[in-house]
Amino acid sequence: MRSPAENAADTGRTLSAHECLRVLVRSHFEVLLGPDSDFIPVMLYEWRSLSEAQRSEVNRLKAEYEAAWVPVLQALHASGELQGDPGLARLMLFGALNWSVQWYDASRRATLDDLTQTALQLFLKDPT
């Protein structure tokens, strides 16, 4: 996955922390719930069945992926938009987003953009 900074570079502008989080959340939903997401249940629920070497590699990739979220959440915390501890917020955010694989139904009216907007409303304080 490309970083929000790489996506912003394509548009020739810098994204705010709020916009970066929107990109991260929307991209996360796309991977979780998009058309090529058949591997997600295995990654979320069956990773303990992997060999030690495979678990180590999955954990390395997970840590690398989640590290991209840390500076965004820290910036949101510094601005007052994210009131909780950024580290705990990251865990809570991933828990909420990942659980969507249990209940999301694409045939209903909520789009991935709707899910993204609602997630941001749940976790961020309105800056106004």
Give, for all 128 residues of the chain, the pLDDT tens digit: 454 445 444 556 789 999 999 999 999 999 999 888 887 877 778 878 889 998 899 889 989 999 999 999 999 999 999 999 999 999 999 999 999 998 998 888 899 999 999 999 999 987 55
Is the residue at 70 inside a domain? Answer: yes
Which pTM value belongs to this model? 0.82
Nearest 5 degrees, angle CA 124-CA 86-CA 6? 80
- Report CA 32 to chain centroid distance, whole Å: 10
Is the residue at 8 inside a domain? Answer: no
Report d(CA 97, CA 75) in Å as an integer.
Answer: 20
Which CATH number characterizes residue 19's domain? 1.10.357.10
Its domain, for residue 109, covers 14-123
